[in-house]
Structure 1
Amino acid sequence: MKKSIVLFMSLLMLVGCSSNSSKTTQKEGTKESTVTKKVTKNKQKKKEVTKQSTSSSTLKQSEEQQIGLSDFVGGWGVPQSGNLFFINSDGTYSSATATNASLGDIAFSVNDNKTFLMSTSIGDFVKELDGTLTAKGQNYQYLGNVTMEQFLQNKEDSAVQNPQEPSSSPSAASENNVAGRVAPVDNSENIAEIVSYFDQQRALIINKKREQIQSWKDSGEVEWSDEIINSAFAEFESYLGSSSDFTHLVGNSSQDYIKASIDKRFQHAFDTMIQK
């Protein structure tokens, strides 16, 4: 009888231990499952953030790939002013102080506000959302897909097709009309004035640059040979151009404006070329 009781108690203890072991295993299994779920959720969140970042980066790269020089090519000007410049399809530009000069290294990007940015060696150009262009703090209106030469030719053609009405007096009509046509305006004196001004200012700026170089040599700041100086001056004088670069403006722009354009080109050459 005693043996039966002892055997019965042993069985009860064995069942109790198995039950506790099973509960512990279940608890540990539940903990592991909870940790696994948290890790999986964190990985999913990271993947979503990475996807969003990659998608945004891909979109910006796609937009930048769509930008090119063609988005900036054409004429640009400030209304009611002579402030004009032209960006050409070959990567050059023309203005009152330069004719088909290189833009240098060109890079394109998209700003955060979706405007287009063209960075060049002469400065940055921003294509605004309204189609205007901002450069050096000045906003320019689009003049059309034309070069400076085409723009000026169009102005000349327009002036011929839409001449000013002649005076109504009989004497003035007889003086201004030949065989029923309006006589062309004689700009020969104005052209001669521009040619003379160009030649005079060109000689002055060349002499000024020679004096500057001589002063550098005298003070020992440079040790250039005559061959180097002559070669540099050949480029300097070539950049100055010729009076024909400006005489075609006569009749379309004021004499003062044309002279100021000549001065700007010459001063730019003096300030940027043949530097120690």
Structure 2
Amino acid sequence: MSVGQVTLPVTGKSRCVLITGATGAIGGALAQAYATPTTHLVLHGRNQSSLETLATACREKGASVSLSSAHLTDDSELTAWLDSVCAQHVPDIVIANAGINTHPHDNALEPWDEVQALLDINLKAPIAMAQRLVPAMQARGSGQLVFISSLAGWHGLPTTPSYSASKAGIKAYGEGLRGLLAPHGIGVTVVMPGYVTSPMCNAMPGPKPWEWPPERAANAIQRGVAANRARISFPFPLNFGTWWLAVLPAGLSQWLIKRFGFHHSGGV
């Protein structure tokens, strides 16, 4: 396995799916959902041991797999990796799933170094990936970009202000990109999950209503991507409630957030 580049095996696979953050709960479930004998998976993650274990499981389902742990925040390393992938097979589906979170502590703002790292991974890296991949997809005339936002993107939460900002930003970027790229045959889907069982979710304080297992989330995402849906948001009750936070007067929304227990702990 190469850190900056991958070498794709020469196969008769008809579809190439690239997933970042593949060692996370949703990323791993997505990899397994897409693992078929007609698929080549390009899986990215920082935990190499977990990545190898996931690759083995996907190969057992018949998929061919290439791995990378390129630094997504290093422009030259990211460019070298994506150029290497595209030189052999421009990905048909790209799921920019890598993400991190941070929380305020003791009524203080999140540490600035944590905020910078969060914005680099959650917002800047997916945009940088699009910059490298879109020209290749345009030249081919097809492709699908999938950006992972969050229901926290509907309205900023006091327990995760920087995370909320990053997810609102990637939501807006994906929505804008969809209209820009549609004439080129490129679909763009924004995914807005609620609580999905994972170490990141477990680390979030506060209530976690309608929590889904990662396999259920992956199935919903896969169906929505196949239909080129503009937005995939779940679960319905939580999505409906958080959507209202975006359309109600801000003062009322913030009062509701406090009433539901997200003023001291929590996050979506």
* TM-score, with structure 1 as normaliser: 0.26
Which protein has the larger Cα radius of gyration, Structure 1 or Structure 2?
1
* TM-score, with structure 2 as normaliser: 0.27
Report 1 or 2 for greater relative contact order, CA contacts < 8 Å, sequence distance ≥ 6. Answer: 2
Query: Where is the helix percentage greater, Structure 1 or Structure 2?
Result: 1
